[in-house]
Structure 1
Amino acid sequence: MTVPTEETPFAGVLAGAVELLRGLPRTRDGVAAARRAAELWRADHPDVRAQLVADVRPGSPVVDYDLVLGHPAGGTVALTAPADDGVPWTVDHSTHWASGRVLTVDGRELLIQNALLTLRARAERDPSVQEELVDHCVLEDLIAREPEPTREELQEASDAYRLRRGLHTRERMLRWLGEVGLTQEAYDNHIHGLALKRRVRARIERETGRDYLERYPEEFDQVWAVWAAGSAERLAGLAASGEPLAALGAAVLSRGDDLDVTAAVRVARELPEPLRDAAAGAAVGPVSYGAGHLFGVIRERRPADPADPATLAAAGRAGFAAFMAARRAAAEITWHWL
C-alpha cells in the first residue's frame, strides 16, 4: 500500500478508498449501511467527488461495489474490490454468455445496444420515459436509507403488483414469472424494493399534500366534465350542434361510434389539460390533444374542499410529483447511452 505523502495526496486517497470498499457489507440488506459509510467518506474527501455504485444482482443476496473518484488532473478513476473470487463484477458480467442480450425470439437476439436505441427513439417522442428512469434512481437513493419493510408492507406491495397485472391465481402468477424470465427469488427482491418505494411515496404525499393544496387551490376544484376524443371533423360536428352536451350523450349511446367519450368528476388538475381552467358551462374545442383532438363541456365546477379525503389524496399526488421534479432538476445526471 502506498503511504500518503505531501507529494502524492491522491495516492493516499486511493489507499483509503480501497480500505472503504473492502469494509463494505456484501449483502443486500447492507446496501443502506454501505451508502452511509460512503457518504461519510465522501464528506472527508470532497475534492474527489466520490460516487458509490452498487451492483445488486437480481435473484441473489450478494452485492458488489465500485467507487468512482474524480482525478485531480481530470477524468475519473474507478475502483472495485470483489470479496470472493477476485473477479470484478463489471468483468464477471461482461463475460457472461448472455451479457449483451436482452431477449431472444425464435432464435433472433435483441442486443442491449439495439434495445437502448429503441428506448432513445421512444424518449424523443415521450420525454416522460427519461423522467421515469431518473425517478427510479432518485427513489432507489431514498429507499437506501429506509428500514427493512414489514411483512404487511411486503404483502400489500405484492398484492397491488399482482392485481395490476391480472395475476389472480398461483397458476397465472407462475406462468407470468416464466414468461418474463423471473425466478421467485428475483420477484421477491423486486417486491422488497417496491414496498419501500410505496412507503417513501406515501410519506412524501402526506408531508406535501396539504401545503400544495393551500398554495394551488384552483388546481383542486371539483369539476364535472364530459369530453370526447376523436377526429377533428367528427368533433366539429358535435361542437356546432345547438346542444353539445346532448350530442356527447348521444355519442355515448351510439354503438360503433368513432369517439372515445368520458364523463367524470375529477379535481381540475387531473382533467385533460384543455379543460382544466374552463368555467362551468363552457364548451372547449375541438383542439389538438395528444395524438388526436378533443372536445369537452364543463357541466359544473365547485371550489376545492380541503376536508375532502379524495381532494387531499389528489393534492398528495401533486405534491409528490412536484417533489420529484425538484429532485430531477437538482440532480447531477449523466446519460451513458441515451
Structure 2
Amino acid sequence: MTSTFNAALSEAVDLLRALPRRRDNVPEARRAVARWRESRPATRAQLVADVRPGSPIVDYDLVLAHPDGGSVALTAPADDGVPWTVDHSTHWASGRVVTVDDFALLIQNALLTLRARAERDTTIQDELIDYCILSDLTGKELPPTQEELQQASDAYRIRNGLRSRDDMMRWLDAVGLNETAYTSHIFGLALKQRVRARIERETARDYLERHPAEFDQVWALWAEGPEDRLAELAGAPDPAEALVRALTGRDRISVHTAEGPALDLPEPLRAVPEKGVVGPVPHGRHHLLGVVRERRPADPSDPAILAAAGRAGFAEYMAERRAKADITWHWL
C-alpha cells in the first residue's frame, strides 16, 4: 500500500470513530464523510449505515477504493467490539418483544402468552407488560413448592382442556414445546400465582373500603341488540317483564340475567339503583337495556366479596405499575 493510502486509512479510522451514532444524526454523518471524500477523492469513500431494529443507535462501515484494485471496508463498533455485519443475526434485541423495567420478554414466552390468553377487557399490550412486571416480581421469590407446581399445572391443564397425557402430548406438539419447556413455564406460572394471590390479599380490604358500591350484590336483567328493538322494550309499561318475555322468544336480541357483585355486571348497570332502568345505551358492538331487580349492600365479612375486591385491587395495582414502568417495545 502507498503511503498516501496508509495516511487515508488512518484518517478514515479516526473519522469513522467520531461519527454520531444516533439514528437522527445519520444525515450529519453522511455529510461528514462527503467532506472528507472531497479531500481524499481517490478513496471514493462510501458510508454504509446499519440502523438497529428498535434502537436509536446506528453502526457504520466505511468502504474505500484500494489503489491496487478492489475495496477495503472499515468497521468501528461503538459498544461491544462486534462488527454489525457479524452481530446482525444475533442482535441484542432480536429475540425480545418488550423490555419493562429491565426485564426482557422473549418472543417464545410472548407467543405462549398470546396462545393461552382468555377473553379479557385489557389489550394484548397490557397483558405482555403485566407478564414482564409479574416475572420481575417473581425473581425475588423463593422457588415454588411441589404443591404450588402441581396446583399451577392442574389449573393450566384444566383451562386448556388437557384431561389426559395424550391430550397433553398432542398440545405440546401443536404449540412446539417439549416437556422440559412446559415444566419451565409452569415453574414461572406457579410463582406468578403466588405473587398475585399475595397482592390480592394485601389490597382486598383497602379496595373494598374505597369502592364499596362496586361489591353491592345486584340481581340484574339486561338485553343487548339493535337500538330500535331495545327502545320498544324500554317503552313497555314494565321493561323488566318485557325482558323476561324476550327470554323465551325468538328475537334480534340476547337477554342475560345475573346475580353477584356490581363490578361483574356490564359497566352501564354497575351504579343503577334498585328497580332502576338504564338504556338503550351504546355497549360493545350493540346497545344495552338493563333493569336492576334487587340491590343489597356488600357484606365486608363475606369471603366471596373479599375475593372479588382482591381481584379488583390486583387489577388496580397492575395498572399503577404499568403507568410507572419504563417500557421499550422491540417489535417496531
TM-score range, shorter chain: 0.5 to 0.7
Q: 1:239 to 1:215 in 2, by over 3 A?
A: same
| Of 211-220 and 257-266, the range deviating more from structure 2 | 257-266
Q: How many residues align?
A: 234
**Candidates 270, 281, 289, aligned match of 1:295:** 289
RMSD between aligned residues: 3.2
Mapped partners of 1:320, 1:91: distance in 2: 37
Consecutive unaligned residues of structure 1, counting only runs of 5 or more, are 1-67, 71-76, 81-86, 101-111, 120-125
Provide the residue aligned with 1:199 in structure 2. 194
Q: Please state if 1:242 is matched with 2:226.
A: no
Provide the residue aligned with 2:263 in structure 1. 269
Displacement after TM superposition at 1:228 (Å):
1.3
Provide the residue aligned with 2:272 in structure 1. 278
Residue 222 of structure 2: SS of its match in structure 1? strand
Which amino acid is the alignment partner of residue 292 of structure 1?
A: H
Which amino acid is the alignment partner of residue 245 of structure 1?
A: A
Mapped partners of 2:87, 2:297: distance in 1: 60
Which amino acid is the alignment partner of residue 235 of structure 2?
A: A
Mapped partners of 1:79, 1:300: distance in 2: 67
Q: Deviations over 1:250-286 (max 9, x none)?
A: 22222x4332222111211221110111110011111
**Candidates 315, 320, 325, aligned match of 1:326:** 320
For the pair shown, which has the larger CA radius of gyration, 1 or 2? Answer: 2
**Candidates 199, 222, 226, aligned match of 1:231:** 226
Q: 1:286 to 1:177 in 2, by over 3 A?
A: same
Provide the residue aligned with 1:164 in structure 2. 159
**Candidates 212, 216, 220, aligned match of 2:215:** 220
- Kept in 1, the 8 Å contact 2:93–2:330? The answer is no
Displacement after TM superposition at 1:173 (Å):
1.8
TM-score for both structures, normalised by structure 2: 0.64
Displacement after TM superposition at 1:90 (Å):
7.1
Mapped partners of 2:149, 2:262: distance in 1: 34
Mapped partners of 1:132, 1:94: distance in 2: 20
Mapped partners of 1:319, 1:94: distance in 2: 34
Mapped partners of 1:172, 1:230: distance in 2: 38
Displacement after TM superposition at 1:94 (Å):
9.7
TM-score for both structures, normalised by structure 1: 0.63
**Candidates 281, 285, 309, aligned match of 1:315:** 309
Residue 334 of structure 1: SS of its match in structure 2? strand
Which amino acid is the alignment partner of residue 219 of structure 1?
A: E
**Candidates 150, 170, 175, aligned match of 2:170:** 175
Q: 1:127 to 1:309 in 2, by over 3 A?
A: closer
Provide the residue aligned with 1:147 in structure 2. 142
Mapped partners of 1:189, 1:293: distance in 2: 44
Which amino acid is the alignment partner of residue 276 of structure 1?
A: R
Q: Deviations over 1:177-226 (max 9, x none)?
A: 11111111111111111111110000000001011111111211111111
Provide the residue aligned with 2:37 in structure 1. none
Provide the residue aligned with 1:137 in structure 2. 132
Provide the residue aligned with 1:91 in structure 2. 90
Residue 174 of structure 1: SS of its match in structure 2? helix
Q: 4+ residue stretches of structure 1 with deviation over 6 A?
A: 87-90, 92-95
Which amino acid is the alignment partner of residue 239 of structure 2?
A: P
Identity level (%): 58
Provide the residue aligned with 1:8 in structure 2. none
Q: Deviations over 1:259-317 (max 9, x none)?
A: 22221112112211101111100111111011211111000111111011111011001
Q: Which has the higher contact order (CA 8 A, sep 6+)?
A: 2
Mapped partners of 1:201, 1:127: distance in 2: 17
Mapped partners of 2:241, 2:304: distance in 1: 29
Mapped partners of 2:89, 2:138: distance in 1: 24
